[in-house]
């Protein structure tokens, strides 16, 4: 029997329902379940040997649902990309007007670090899958390159001239890359934002010739 | 009629002949001709619309000769990659023992700059082809990522510890990337090595918060 709530929900688009309830109507947290299933299969049998059908099956969902969330099996690993760009852009734009560009970028990177709190095991497994596959490595580099471009863009909007804006952004992404790899390789008792902070200081030291 | 020279050459492998004479036996500068023909076709009709057969034809060579020099049509654009790694590795390894890591890397990058003397027009055309094709952009990023890894490696052999070695190397490649784009976009009256030198100084300034 249908209730009033069912009818109301029936009139709302799935996107709206997802926004309100944080999940799809019939598939609570489908996205997260697909990501977890994909990572498990990629880790076990390799990226190339895994099909979308198998990922959907392990997640208890259909292939159609998979393709509602991801364009292809590669994109399951890069779902948070838009969010990275958005966080950095917002935090760098909102940094104190007096902040030096490198410190505004450092704030943005630290905010990304916060996003990974409690996700180190997931990040470590994802990194291992990517390291085993040249095509995924290229995709990861494109992601970081876009993040650098978005960062340079927001720095220019803060009034930083070229080439300082591009150099600061690219150096910031270099820091992020090195810090992320260290965080994943190090023990589990440190937060990414801490490692990023240390790496920014280290960049300042090496660029100042203090090594 | 065969001469003694012909007989002697007949006993030598083509690789040896190439090393001695700087060219293939029957195909003087085949490599350079293929590169030039490829760039011309990629610029005119686009990378995807060009075949190896067409490149070989325009260069006045056979497809077989093409594949003796390049694995596929993408690699024509990345032929100098090994040389980049070798130059940076050698120059950074040979920098004064007292040189700070960032300055050793700056020397290596300046040496790469020298390699591009008089090649700005070629570099500009190549850059335009790459900018128009996401697959080629990924390949270019992989090239720079390998260059960073090779640079970090030689810094570690100089006794630089981690993460300073990786950070310096990645920051150096960030400088190279930004400087190269500026050099290609700027007027033709500046040398790449000059732009690289300025960009290293700029990196030191931005990392020191002086902007």
How is B36-56 classified by DSSP, letter by letter? HHHHHHHHHH-STT--HHHHH
Instruction: Name the minimum distance, in Å, from the CA of A207 to any CA of chain B.
Output: 5
Whether residues B206 and A167 touch (CB distance < 8 A) is answered with yes
Structure tokens at B195: 């732009």
The pLDDT value recorded for residue B27 is 62
Reference B60, options B39, B36, B79, B44; nearest CA is: B36
The pLDDT value recorded for residue B132 is 92
Query: Is the predicted pLDDT of residue A9 greater than 70, yes or no?
Result: no
Backbone angles phi, psi at A18, to 5 degrees: -60, -40
**Could you give the 3-state DSSP secondary structure of residue B208?**
coil
Whether residues A207 and B211 touch (CB distance < 8 A) is answered with no
* Interfacial residues of B (vs A; Cβ cutoff 8 Å): 100-103, 134, 137-139, 141-142, 145, 160, 162-164, 166-168, 170-171, 173-175, 177-179, 181-182, 199, 202-211
Q: How far apart are CA A176 and CA A109, in angstroms?
A: 7
Structure tokens at B200: 């290293």
Which residues, including other chains, have CB under 8 Å from residue A19's CB and lie 6 or more apart? none
Q: How far apart are CA A161 and CA A173, in angstroms?
A: 18
Residues of chain B with pLDDT below 70 are: 1-28, 210-211
Global pTM value:
0.79
Structure tokens at B178: 């930004």
Average of per-residue pLDDT values in chain A: 85
Query: Is the predicted pLDDT of residue A62 greater than 50, yes or no?
Result: yes
Residue B98: how many other CB atoms lie within 10 Å = 7
**Could you give the 3-state DSSP secondary structure of residue A188?**
coil
**Which of A101, A141, A174 faces B211 most closely, judged by CB atoms?**
A101
pLDDT per position as a tens digit, A94-131: 999 999 999 999 999 999 988 888 888 889 999 999 99
**Which of B141, B162, B175 faces A141 most closely, judged by CB atoms?**
B141
Average of per-residue pLDDT values in chain B: 85
Average pLDDT in the A143-169 region? 94
Average pLDDT in the A17-25 region? 47
**Percent of chain A that is helix, strand, coil (3-state, to 5):** 75, 0, 25
The pLDDT value recorded for residue B2 is 42
Whether residues A207 and B208 touch (CB distance < 8 A) is answered with yes
Q: How far apart are CA B174 and CA B206, in angstroms?
A: 13
Q: How far apart are CA A41 and CA A55, in angstroms?
A: 7
**Could you give the 3-state DSSP secondary structure of residue B166?**
helix
ipTM of the complex: 0.76
Whether residues A164 and B103 touch (CB distance < 8 A) is answered with no
């Amino acid at each position: 029997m249908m209730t009033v709530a069912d009818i109301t929900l029936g009139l709302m688009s799935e996107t709206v329902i997802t926004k309100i309830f944080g999940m799809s109507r019939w598939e609570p947290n489908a996205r997260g379940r697909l990501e977890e299933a994909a990572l498990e299969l990629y880790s076990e049998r390799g990226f190339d040997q895994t099909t979308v059908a198998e990922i959907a099956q392990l997640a208890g969902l259909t292939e159609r649902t998979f393709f509602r969330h991801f364009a292809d099996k590669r994109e399951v690993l890069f779902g948070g990309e838009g969010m990275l760009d958005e966080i950095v852009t917002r935090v760098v734009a909102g940094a104190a007007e007096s902040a030096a560009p490198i410190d505004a970028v450092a704030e943005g990177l630290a905010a990304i670090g916060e996003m990974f709190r409690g996700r180190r095991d997931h990040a470590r497994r994802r990194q291992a899958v990517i390291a085993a596959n040249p095509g995924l490595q290229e995709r990861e580099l494109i992601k970081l390159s876009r993040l650098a471009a978005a960062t340079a863009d927001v720095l220019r909007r803060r009034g930083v001239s070229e080439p300082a804006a591009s150099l600061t952004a690219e150096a910031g992404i270099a820091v992020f890359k090195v810090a992320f790899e260290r965080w994943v390789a190090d023990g589990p008792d440190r937060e990414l934002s801490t490692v990023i902070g240390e790496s920014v200081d280290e960049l300042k030291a090496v660029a100042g010739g203090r090594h």
